[in-house]
Structure 1
Amino acid sequence: MTKRTSAKYKIDRRMGENIWGRPKSPVNRREYGPGQHGQRRKGKVSDFGLQLRAKQKLKGYYGDITEKQFRRIFADAERQRGDTGELLIGLLERRLDAVVYRAKFVATVFAARQFVNHGHVLVNGRRVNIPSYRVKEGDVIEVREKSKQMTALLEAVQLPERDVPDYIEVDHSKMVATFTRTPGLSDVPYPVHMEPNLVIEFYAQN
């Protein structure tokens, strides 16, 4: 088992939810947490616990990004006018690795990060190898020519468990996607309930 696959399973087990909606998630078999005490009856979770869990779930969903990165994205959302929770989701969805994942060029968000890191992606015709690169509305994201026949890429396109959301236009025959608009919370096809309002509360109190 690779380190990335292991990380995926650990996050699902820790959260007690299949946060990516994957058929092979260990949570599909057992919903209790990992470790020898995982089956203990859970007590009432405090407000802090709920807020922390909401933050960890959102961070985990986007490839378990670091606390430093996540806090920076939150700070950017807070500086803008409007609903901070909606803006936070919009900024997370504008990450290049998130767009590559949403376009179904790869099977997982972890694979998307690696795919971008290895230089397989062009943005408006220029190679970008920074997963956290912030895509703008109208940007064209394309798999570079030499990478278009990769087996993992062709398999990801066929995955039945998720669809491409309507804020991304994709031509899988050309492996080209256009980020048409910044989504809000209700636009994003999360397999589980996300609560950015609790993330805001967490940072407001900590």
Structure 2
Amino acid sequence: MSKRNSAKYKLDRRMGENIWGRPKSPVNKREYGPGQHGQRRKGKATDFGIQLKAKQKLKGYYGDVTEKQFKKAYAEADRMKGDTGQNLVGLLERRLDAVVYRAKFTPTIWSARQLVNHGHVRVNGVKCNIASRLVKPGDEITLGTKAQEMALVMEAQGLSERDIPEYVAPDGSAKVTFIRVPTLDEVPYPVKMEPNLVVEFYSR
């Protein structure tokens, strides 16, 4: 299990945006960057800086995805037919931890990863503890019996800050079906994501 090396909300402050749309985000109160000189860090961004920020924002949104994993997803998206940026978003949304998060089984993407790692999630009835596993359209994702009684699962299902998107179909409170790979427009990002800039960053 990869370790989160920095406070999750530090990314919000570095980007100056509430990446996950959570009410507790410090950006709601302080829009400047973290650290002693955060308020003075307002230089004009270069093209490289804009592309890097877009990459960090998209990668950071999916939690503990490593640079190696993210670059591998980009390479896969680049090999596929169609728009590379759309393909990249589709691959990220097919990750098992992302589907668990979209299903509102957990309040955050990190707790989704933890739930999968601890063996509380089943794909088509088979236990899976690999958060990066790619699900396919038609796959059924269910919570184990123990997980259904967890406080964080109950908390997540009561959250009003986000809804289950149309490409994830709920069947009761402990089972969803991944209907299709979404397009960028269908993914309910709380902030604007620009995968085209991520493509530019890696194609330099």
- Report how far residue 5 of structure 1 moved: 10
Partner of 1:198: 197
| Structure 2 partner of 1:104 | 104
C-alpha separation in 1, matches of 2:145 and 2:5: 27
Is residue 168–residue 177 contact of structure 2 (8 Å, CA) maintained in 1? yes
Q: Which AA in structure 1 matches 2:68? A: K
Calculate percent identity across the aligned residue pairs: 67
Which residue type is aligned with residue 48 of structure 2?
F
Instruction: Summarize the Cα distance change of 1:146–1:41 in structure 2 as closer, same or farther, 3 Å threshold.
Output: closer
* Aligned residue in 1 for 2:36: 36
Give the distance between the partners of 1:126 and 1:15, measured in 2 at CA.
38
Q: How does 1:16-55 map to 2 (within 5 A)?
A: 16-40=16-40, 42-55=42-55
Offset at 1:41? 5.3
State the 1:155 CA deviation: 1.1
Matched residue of 1:165: which SS?
coil
Q: Which amino acid aligns with 1:75?
A: A
Worse-matched range after superposition: 97-106 or 141-150: 141-150
Q: Which amino acid aligns with 2:199?
A: I
Q: Give every structure 1 segment of 4 or more consecutive aligned residues whose post-TM-superposition deviation is greater than 4 Å.
A: 3-6
1:9-38 Cα offsets, whole Å, 9 max, x none, are: 111111111000000000000000001110
CA deviation string 1:50-74 (max 9, x = no partner): 0000000000000041100000000
Distance 2:150 2:125 in 1: 19
* Counterpart residue identity of residue 35, structure 1: G
User: Contact 2:4–2:64 (CA<8 Å) still a contact in 1?
Assistant: no
**Is contact 1:157–1:172 with CA below 8 Å preserved after alignment?**
no
What's the offset of the Cα at 1:4? 5.5
Deviation at residue 204 of structure 1 after TM alignment: 0.5
TM-score (norm 1): 0.95
Q: Secondary structure of 1:39's match? A: helix
Look up the SS of the partner of 2:113 in the other structure. helix
Quote the residue 2:155 is aligned against. Answer: 155
When residues 5 and 67 of structure 1 are mapped into structure 2, their CA distance, relative to the original with a 3 A threshold, is closer
Render the CA deviation track for 1:66-108: whole Å, top value 9, x for unaligned.
1000000000000011000000000000000000000000000
Question: How do 1:55-94 residues align onto structure 2 when only pairs under 5 Å count?
Answer: 55-94=55-94
Q: Alignment length, in residue pairs?
A: 202
Letter in 1 for 2:184: L
Q: Distance in 1 between matches of 2:190 and 2:75?
A: 26
Give the aligned residue type for 1:21.
G
Q: TM-score, normalised by structure 2?
A: 0.96
- Return the alpha-carbon distance in structure 1 between the equivalents of residues 70 and 4 of structure 2: 19
Distance 2:55 2:177 in 1: 29
Q: Alignment partner of 2:40: what SS?
A: coil
Q: 2-side partners of 1:146 and 1:11: how far apart?
A: 32
